């Protein structure tokens, strides 16, 4: 093995040969002390994750009793103590557009997830319509120089294109009429990130085959568009955009995929066990962030009205049924245990990020992670106050260890507008925002 000494290496240096261009990991030689390059490395672009859990939380076990610093972590959040310096608990936020004119239980649940990242009211009618979600605003600003501008993950399956399904089955919207599907199959995610095939050689071959196929499909569509009606041309335009984006991803993955990453064996299918499933999805997210295949991810840990059970939590009651606890203390206590169990999966992610070095820190230092729900007291379908936390240092832009109490009645979009500021994405407003949360 040859070691390079006393020489500055570019962060974007490639190993080129046999038609491949393989990016190197971040090496010490890429961060020389007291140079402009070192300052650039230290100012690495942050990663953003938005992680949604349905059915709210038991708020008196979630919310600290004192504001500012030095607070005692409540029962549900006490497992975050090792990450206190990277933790911000944001209280008093609400989701006003989730109430809506239809007061039915199903509509209240559906709006909870639909509004959470879009800060828009779902449109009535057959075609789903929302607004560009905050993760996609970030992707347009800091995700265009990565193979995937964003990555949308879920634990439960569901069609985001079906009537009404978009409001329940995704939290990410590329535009008002463009709900993004959430992928819950780890094998599909793995192949999207690293190319199809079980070995590196197979993945390179498949990428080459896909590139040739996509070229021919693009030509076919251009020809077909001349002979179809307006509505079909629109559909084909959207499809063509997707094809071009896939083509871009294939090219950039070929340039940036790093040989040093400890890739797991290609996963097959969807794990039955919730713990195994979500840990695998978080592992893939960490790999994607580590290689900068993407910087933006969203995750739905469950859909609203899900009646999934979580036997590893010690609670066997279906989630949605239990969320309607009827103010029976035994049921409230069980729901709080589920809240704590779900948050333990986030602790797994935080641990992975903290143990993944990057430059002079780790991936958690570079991350901004929003976790929470679009509901508060799920027994009443309340959307005020929401259980919301932020974790991560956002590449030095966010200090932690705080319980921040927002102005009474402040919409969640105020926090999301401030999050965009932290990411370097300046917006005058976002959705129904009325100001900013001071971060």
Q: Using the 8-state DSSP alphabet, how is residue 352 labeled?
A: H
User: Mean pLDDT over all residues of the chain?
Assistant: 82
* Lowest mean pLDDT across 176-185, 254-263, 333-342, 352-361: 254-263
Q: What percent of the chain has pLDDT over 90?
A: 57
C-beta of residue 185 within 8 angstroms of C-beta of residue 269: yes
- Dihedral sign, Cα of residue 373, residue 379, residue 383, residue 385: negative
Predicted structure pTM score:
0.83
Q: What is the pLDDT at residue 33?
A: 46
Q: Using the 8-state DSSP alphabet, how is residue 185 labeled?
A: -
Q: Which tens digit of pLDDT belongs to each residue from 237-268? A: 654 564 455 446 545 655 655 556 666 665 66
* Lowest mean pLDDT across 175-184, 194-203, 282-291, 344-353: 194-203
Looking up tokens 């009474």 gives 408
CA distances from 394 to 46, 51, 255, 364, 439 (A): 5, 16, 26, 8, 12
Instruction: Over range 35-60, report the average pLDDT.
Output: 78
Residue 24, pLDDT > 50, answer no
Instruction: Over range 387-413, report the average pLDDT.
Output: 96
Q: What is the pLDDT at residue 246?
A: 42
pLDDT grade for 316, boundaries at 50, 70 and 90: very high
Instruction: Over range 100-120, report the average pLDDT.
Output: 90
Q: What is the pLDDT at residue 291?
A: 78
Helix (H, G, I), strand (E, B) or coil at 247: helix
Q: How far apart are CA 57 and CA 387, in angstroms?
A: 6
Q: What is the pLDDT at residue 345?
A: 98
């Amino acid at each position: 093995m040859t070691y390079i000494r006393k020489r500055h290496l570019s962060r974007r240096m490639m190993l080129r040969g046999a038609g491949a261009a393989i990016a190197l990991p971040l090496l010490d030689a890429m961060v020389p002390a007291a140079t402009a390059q070192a300052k650039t490395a230290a100012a690495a672009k942050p990663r953003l994750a938005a992680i949604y859990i349905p059915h709210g939380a038991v708020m008196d076990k979630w919310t600290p009793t004192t504001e500012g610093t030095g607070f005692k972590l409540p029962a549900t959040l006490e497992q975050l103590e090792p990450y206190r310096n990277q933790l911000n608990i944001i209280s008093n936020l609400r989701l006003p557009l989730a109430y809506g004119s239809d007061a039915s239980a199903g509509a209240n649940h559906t709006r909870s997830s639909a509004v959470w990242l879009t800060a828009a009211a779902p449109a009535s009618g057959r075609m789903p319509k929302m607004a560009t979600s905050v993760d996609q605003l970030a992707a347009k600003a800091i995700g265009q120089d990565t193979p995937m501008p964003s990555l949308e993950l879920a634990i439960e399956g569901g069609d985001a294109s079906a009537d009404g399904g978009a409001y329940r089955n995704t939290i990410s919207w590329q535009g008002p009429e463009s709900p993004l599907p959430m992928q819950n199959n780890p094998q599909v995610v793995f192949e999207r990130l690293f190319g199809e095939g079980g070995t590196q050689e197979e993945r390179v071959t498949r990428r080459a085959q896909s590139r040739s196929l996509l070229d021919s499909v693009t030509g076919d569509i251009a020809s077909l568009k001349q002979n179809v009606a307006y509505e079909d041309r629109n559909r084909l335009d959207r499809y063509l955009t997707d094809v071009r984006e896939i083509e871009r991803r294939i090219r950039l993955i070929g340039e940036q995929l790093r040989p040093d990453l400890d890739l797991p064996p290609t996963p097959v299918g969807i794990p039955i066990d919730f713990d195994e499933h979500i840990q695998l999805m978080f592992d893939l997210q960490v790999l994607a962030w580590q290689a900068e295949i993407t910087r933006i991810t969203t995750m739905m840990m469950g859909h609203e009205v899900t009646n999934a059970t979580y036997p590893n939590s010690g609670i066997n009651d279906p989630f949605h049924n239990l969320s309607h606890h009827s103010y029976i203390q035994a049921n409230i206590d069980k729901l709080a245990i589920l809240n704590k169990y779900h948050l333990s999966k986030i602790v797994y992610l935080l641990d992975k990020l903290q143990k993944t070095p990057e430059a002079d820190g780790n991936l958690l230092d570079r991350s901004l992670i929003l976790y929470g729900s679009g509901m508060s007291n799920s027994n009443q379908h309340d959307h005020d106050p929401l259980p919301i936390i932020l974790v991560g240092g956002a590449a030095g832009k966010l200090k932690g260890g705080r319980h921040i109490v927002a102005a009474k009645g402040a919409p969640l979009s105020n926090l999301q507008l401030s999050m965009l500021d932290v990411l370097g994405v300046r917006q005058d407003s976002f959705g129904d925002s009325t100001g900013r949360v001071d971060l």
